[in-house]
């Protein structure tokens, strides 16, 4: 909690309390800062193409024909990666994605059960916390489309799934470790 408080103090001190207040004051909270229309358009597109979607990376093109909200701007992203994937990939993409997510959850739970040290446990907790934060971020933005964020996501998945070497004296399920 102290670290979080320090982070907030530093961030507000860096840009100024007035800038932070102004930014929050300008936001249109009743429409999720103009994202609601893009979300509704993505849902409409997903309903029109439920099986295969419009094709990966075609959301911006499909909104040229199907955008119905806030026509003063063209939305090239749905500002929600889950809805955009549903619109672009349909069930053909969403079913395998849901299966992969389910498998990730099962494997991470197994790794928690297998943890042999406190250090690995807390590293895994940090990675899972990061993955949950990214999932929440994806509901209001499209940050995983940025290569650096996608790389961070991959690293967090690797940390969450990592199977540490067996402690000395124990035999690994894959056989003895090579001698050094």
Q: Which tens digits make up the pLDDT trace of 71-120?
A: 888 888 888 999 999 999 999 999 999 999 999 999 999 999 987 788 88
Q: Domain locations in the chain?
A: 32-161
Q: For residues 119 and 159, is the Cβ–Cβ distance under 8 A?
A: no
Q: What is the pLDDT of residue 73?
A: 84
The secondary element (H helix, E strand) that includes residue 169 is none
Q: What is the pLDDT of residue 58?
A: 93
Sequence length of the chain is 180
Q: Tell me how far CA of residue 155 lies from CA of 39, 69, 108, 127, 132, in angstroms.
A: 29, 37, 14, 8, 14
Q: How confident is the model at residue 32 (pLDDT cuts 50, 70, 90)?
A: low
Q: How far is CA 28 from the centre of its chain?
A: 23
- Is the pTM of the predicted complex or chain greater than 0.85? no
């Amino acid at each position: 909690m102290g670290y979080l408080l320090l982070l907030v103090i530093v961030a507000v001190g860096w840009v100024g309390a007035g800038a932070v207040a102004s930014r929050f004051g300008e936001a249109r909270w009743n429409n999720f800062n103009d994202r609601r229309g893009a979300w509704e358009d993505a849902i409409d597109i997903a309903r029109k193409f439920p099986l295969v979607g419009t094709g990966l990376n075609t959301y911006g093109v499909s909104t040229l024909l199907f955008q119905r909200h806030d026509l003063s701007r063209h939305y090239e992203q749905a500002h929600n990666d889950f809805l955009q994937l549903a619109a672009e990939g349909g069930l053909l993409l969403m079913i395998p994605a849901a299966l992969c997510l389910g498998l990730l959850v099962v494997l991470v739970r197994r790794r928690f059960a297998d943890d042999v040290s406190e250090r690995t446990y807390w590293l895994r907790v940090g990675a899972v916390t990061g993955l949950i934060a990214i999932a929440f971020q994806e509901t209001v933005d499209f940050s995983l489309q940025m290569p650096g964020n996608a790389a961070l996501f991959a690293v967090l998945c690797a940390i969450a799934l990592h199977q540490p070497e067996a402690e000395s004296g124990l035999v690994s399920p894959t056989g003895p470790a090579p001698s050094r």
